[in-house]
Chains A and B, each alone.
Chain A
Amino acid sequence: MKRVALLGMPNTGKSTFFNRLTGASARVGNWPGVTVDLLAAPILLGGHMVELVDLPGLYDLHGFSDDEKVVRHFLENNAVDLAVILVNAVQVERQLSLALQVRQLGLPCVLLLNMADEARQYGIRINVQEMAAQLGIPVVLFSAKYGDQQGEVQRTLAKTLDTARPVQLETVRRSLESDDAIEQTMGRIMEAAVEVPPRLSDNLTDQLDRLVLHPWLGLPLFFFAMFLLFQAVFWLGAPLQDGMEWLFDTLRTNALDPALAGAPEMLRGFLLDGIYSGIATVAAFVPIIVLFFLFMAVVEDTGYLSRAAYLTDALMARLGLDGRSFVMLLMGFGCNVPAVMGTRVMRSRPLRLLSMLIIPLSLCSARMQVFLFIISAVFPASQAGLALFSLYLFSFATAIVTALLFRKHFRSNEPFILELPPYRLPTLRQVLVRGWLEVRHFLTRATKIIIAGVVLVWVLTHFPMGVEEAGPESYAGIIGHWMEPLLSPLGISDQLAVALIFGFVAKEVVVGSLAVIYSLQGDALTQHLALQMDWVQAYSFMLFTLIYTPCLSTIATLKAESRSNGFALFAVVWPLALAWGVSFAFYQGARALGF
C-alpha cells in the first residue's frame, strides 16, 4: 500500500481535511523513529488504496519543537510516496516556506491551498496555474470545511500518485540536512502569483476581539464563558451518567444476577463485582468525555482558546504554565479525566506534563460528593459552606504550589508565540467527529487499567477466602492496619484507611465503601461517622481524600497521555506525599492549638 503524508502548519485546517478524507476510520498507530501516536487511515484515491498519515502541525522542517522533530524523524524513517502540503490560503505569504522545504526533500508533493472561502473574503487573489508553474508541483485551491473543490483535490492526488516515483530514504535524510535560499524563491513566487491587499479591512474578528480581549471586560467574560461551559457539561452530563448507571444496574439485576445465580460465589463476585463494575466505571465517564470534547471542540475551533491563553498568560507565566493550562485546570474541577486528555492542545511536552501534574489536584465533582456527605455528617449547617469553600481554596493552593515547585523540571523550551486565528464557526460534523474520536481513544487506552484496578480492589477486600467484606482480616483491612503508624498522625483510623483504598478506584466510591466497612446505611452511617470523628479528624480525612492520588481513571489517562510509566508513577507518588504533608500539618497544628 502506498503511503501519503499530510503536512501543514498549525491552524491550517489539517485535521478537518484529514477527517473529511477519511471519515472517522482513522486509527492511532506507532511508527518507526517516532515516539508519539500518529493518526492514519486507509483511503481510496483514484485506483490506489493508500494509507494517509496525519503528521503533527509544524512551522518549519528544521524547527526544534517536539512536533517538528516528530515530523523530521517520521520522514527520515518511513518511505513516503506522496507528501500533501496543506497551506492556509490567507497566510500563503508565509506558509509557502514549508511547501518549499518539503519540495526540497525531493518527495513527490502536492500543494493544497485551504480556506479558499476566507481568502476570498480578505480579497486575496491567487493565480493557481502560475503558482503551480513556479513551484513545479500541482496546486489546488479549495475549502476543507465546506468541501469546495474536494473532487479536484482527490483527482489531483490520485494523478500525482500515478506518476510518483519512490524516493530513497537516504535522499530524504540528506536533503533534510541541507537548506538553501528558500526565502528568495518564496519572494519570487509571491510576486508572480499572489495579490494581497496592503491593509486588511476591519472585519468581524477585529470587532469581536475588541470585546473579548478588552483589558477590563476580557477576564470576567472569560470566567463567565468557562462557567457556562462547565455548567453545560455537568448539567447535561449528570443525567446521562445516571442513565448509564441505571442501565448497568438494570442489566445486572435482570440478566446477569439470575444468569450467574448457580455459579460459585467467588466466580460470581469476580465477574460481577470485579470485571462488570470495572466496565461500568469506564462507561460512567463516556457521557462526560463526549460532552466535554463537544464543547472543547467549539472553544478550540472558534479560536477562543488562543484568546483565553492571551487573557490568562500574565498570571500563568509566573507558574511556568500558559493560559491553555488554566482552561484545562478549570475543567478539571468537573472531571480530571477529560481535562488531562484536553492538554493535548499544548504542543510542548514539558508544559503538557506540568499541566497534567496539577490537573488531578482540582477538586472534581466526584470528590465533592464525598465532601458533601462528610461535611453534612460532621459540621453544623452554619459552617458547612465555609468548610467546602476552604477545600476549594486548598485545591487551588496545592495546584499552585505544585506548579511552582516543579516548573524548573518541566521547563518548556518553546517560546510563547501563539497564533491568534480568526473566529470561525466549526461545522457540526467537525465537532461530532472530534467527540467520537476522543471517546474511542479513552476506551482503547484506559479500559484495561481501570478494569484491572477494580478487580484488584475486589480481591483486596474479598480475600483471603471467607473473610467479611473489607473487614479487618481482609487484605484491605491488613493493609489498613499496616498503614496505621503512617495515618494515625493524621487522625485517620484503620477503617477510614480502607475507604481510601476504595477511593483509589473512583473517589465517589468512598462514601459507598464507608457503608460497607461500617455495615451501616443512610442516617445511621451519618450518625456513626459523627460519633467516630470530630471535625479536625474529618477535615484531615477530607484534605487527604482531596489530594492523595488521582482516581484510577485519571491515572490510566495520565499514563496513556504521557506515554511514560515514570511520569504516571510520579503523578501518583507526589500527591500522596503532598496529601500526607498537608493533612499532617493540619491535624497536628489544629491539635496543638487545642482543637
Chain B
Amino acid sequence: MNSLQTAPATRLSQLNPGQEATISAIHAGSEVGLRLAALGFRIGKRLRVMRRGFLSGPLHIRLGTTDVIIRRQDALQIHVAV
C-alpha cells in the first residue's frame, strides 16, 4: 500500500477457505478497530477462513468460539502471518 513496507504482508482478504493464520497487525481506524477488538480480532489471535462469499461477497471467519462475516475491504486492513 505504501513504499515503507518492505515485504508485502499477507492480508486476511487473501487467505483461501480452510486456511489458518495468526493476526499480525490491524490497520483499522478507531471505529472499526474497536468493533474488531470486541469481536475477538486481536494481534496474536489465531483465525481460520471458513469460506469466501460468492461474487466478492464477505468472508466467513472463525476466531475461537466466534464466527463472523466481514467484507473484503474491511478484511484488507487485517494483516496475518500464515
- A121-151 vs B, Cβ < 8 Å mask (1 yes, 0 no): 0101000000000000000000000000000
B50 within 8 A of A: yes
User: Are the CB atoms of A417 and B40 closer together than 8 Å?
Assistant: no
> A108 on the interface (CB 8 Å rule)?
no
CB of A417 within 8 A of CB of B54, answer no
Give CA–CA (A94, B35) in the complex, Å. 12
Whether B6 sits at the interface, judged by CB under 8 Å, is: no
Contact B55 A314 (CB under 8 A): yes
**Contact call B60/A314, Cβ cutoff below 8 A:** no
B55 lies within 8 A of A63 (CB): no
Q: A59-B35, A64-B34, A196-B65 are in contact. Are A415 and B57 (CB under 8 A)?
A: no
The answer to whether residues A420 and B69 also contact, given A59-B35, A59-B39, A310-B58 and a CB cut-off of 8 A, is yes
How many residues belonging to B are interface residues under a CB distance threshold of 8 Å?
A: 31
Q: Determine if A595 is an interface residue (Cβ-Cβ < 8 Å).
A: no
B37 / chain A contacts, CB cutoff of 8 Å = 60, 97
Which one of A213, A216, A311, A415 has the highest number of Cβ atoms from chain B below 10 Å of its Cβ?
A415
Please encode chain A, from 88 to 99, with 1 for each CB lying within 8 Å of some chain B CB and 0 for all others: 001101100110
In the bound complex, do residue B71 and residue A93 qualify as a contact, i.e. CB atoms below 8 Å apart?
Answer: no
A90 to B37, CA, bound (A): 17
Instruction: Please indicate the chain B residues that have their CB under 8 angstroms from the CB of A593 in the complex.
Output: none
Q: B74, A419: Cβ atoms under 8 Å?
A: no
B57 touches A122 (CB 8 A): no
Q: Which of chain A's residues have a CB closer than 8 A to the CB of B66?
A: 91, 94, 419
Given contacts A219-B54, A311-B54, whether A419 and B67 have CB atoms under 8 Å apart is yes
CA distance A254 to B32 in the complex (A): 63
Q: Given known contacts A415-B32, A415-B74, is B38 in contact with A306 (CB within 8 Å)?
A: no
- CB distance A196 to B69 under 8 Å? no
Q: Is A477 an interface residue (CB 8 A)?
A: no
Let me know if B69 and A417 touch, CB within 8 A: yes
Give Cα distance in the complex from A213 to B17, angstroms. Answer: 13
In the assembled complex, the CB of A196 is this many whole angstroms from the nearest CB of chain B, namely 7
Main secondary structure on chain B at its contact with chain A? mixed
B40-80: contact bitstring with A at CB < 8 Å (1 yes, 0 no)? 10100000001101111110101011111111001000000
Chain B nearest CB from A117 CB (Å) reads 14
* Residue A200 lies at the interface, judged by CB distance under 8 Å to chain B: yes
Q: Which of A60, A219, A421 contacts B38 (CB under 8 A)?
A: A60
Residue of chain B at shortest CB distance from A94: B40
Q: Which of A196, A218, A420, A422 has the most CB of B within 10 A?
A: A420
A196 and B64: CB pair below 8 A? yes
Please determine whether A213 and B32 come into contact, CB atoms closer than 8 angstroms: no
- Residue B36 CB within 8 A of the other chain: yes
List chain B residues, Cβ under 8 A from A420.
Answer: 60, 67-69
> What is the bound-complex CA distance between A416 and B28, given in angstroms?
13
The contact string, 1 if C-beta is below 8 Å from chain B, for chain A 171-188, is: 000000000000100000
Please tell me if A418 contacts chain B, counting CB pairs below 8 Å.
Answer: yes
| CB of A35 within 8 Å of the partner chain | no
A313 CA / B57 CA spacing, docked (Å): 6
Contact B68 A418 (CB under 8 A): yes
Report whether A213 and B51 are in contact in the complex, using a CB–CB cutoff of 8 Å.
yes
Interfacial residues of chain A within 54-82, with CB under 8 A of chain B in the complex:
59-60, 62-65
8 Å CB contacts to A: which residues of B7-39? 28, 30-32, 34-39
Q: Is there an interface contact between A417 and B65, defined as CB atoms closer than 8 Å?
A: no
**Please, which residue of chain B has its CB at the minimum distance from the CB of A309?**
B69
Min CB gap A438→B, angstroms? 26
C-alpha spacing A324/B28, complex, angstroms: 24
Is A209 among interface residues, defined by CB-CB distance under 8 A? yes
Whether A416 and B65, one on each chain, are in contact in the complex, defined by CB atoms closer than 8 angstroms, is: no
CB neighbours of A527 from chain B (8 A): none
Q: Which residue in A90, A91, A209, A314 is a CB contact (below 8 Å) of B57?
A: A314
Q: Smallest Cβ distance from B11 to chain A, in angstroms? A: 15
B residues near A218, Cβ cutoff 8 Å: 54
Q: Which residue of A lies closest to B52 (CB)?
A: A215
When distances are taken between beta carbons in the complex, the residues of chain A under 8 Å from B57 are: 310-311, 313-314
The answer to whether B70 and A416 have CB atoms under 8 Å apart is: yes
Tell whether, in the assembled complex, residue B31 and residue A64 are in contact, meaning their CB atoms are under 8 Å apart. yes
Task: Say yes or no: A314-B53 contact (C-beta < 8 A), given A93-B64, A416-B74, A417-B36.
Answer: yes
Contact A418 B65 (CB under 8 A): no
CA–CA, A489 and B30, complex, Å: 53
Most buried by B among A219, A315, A414, A416: A416
| A 299-337 contacts with B by CB, 8 A | 306, 309-311, 313-315, 317
CB of A91 within 8 A of CB of B68, answer: no
A123 to B61, CA, bound (A): 21
Q: Is the CB of B34 within 8 A of A317?
A: no
User: Residue B60 contacts which of A91, A93, A310 (CB distance < 8 angstroms)?
Assistant: A310
* Given A60-B35, A417-B39, A306:B65 Cβ within 8 A: no
In the complex, the 8 A-B pairs of residues with the closest C-beta atoms, listed nearest first: A59-B38, A314-B57, A420-B67, A314-B55, A94-B40, A415-B32, A64-B31, A416-B71
Q: Knowing that A91-B66, A215-B51, A313-B53 are A-B contacts, what are 19 other residue pairs whose CB atoms are under 8 Å apart, sorted by A's residue number?
A: A59-B38, A63-B35, A63-B38, A64-B30, A90-B65, A97-B37, A124-B65, A196-B65, A200-B62, A209-B60, A213-B60, A218-B54, A309-B69, A315-B55, A414-B31, A415-B31, A417-B39, A418-B68, A419-B39
A-B contact pairs, 26 of them (CB 8 A): A9-B38, A59-B34, A60-B38, A63-B31, A64-B34, A90-B65, A93-B64, A94-B38, A97-B37, A122-B65, A124-B65, A183-B42, A209-B50, A309-B69, A310-B58, A313-B69, A313-B71, A415-B31, A415-B35, A415-B71, A416-B58, A416-B69, A416-B71, A417-B32, A417-B69, A418-B68
| Residues of chain B whose beta carbon lies under 8 Å from any beta carbon of chain A | 28, 30-32, 34-40, 42, 50-51, 53-58, 60, 62, 64-71, 74
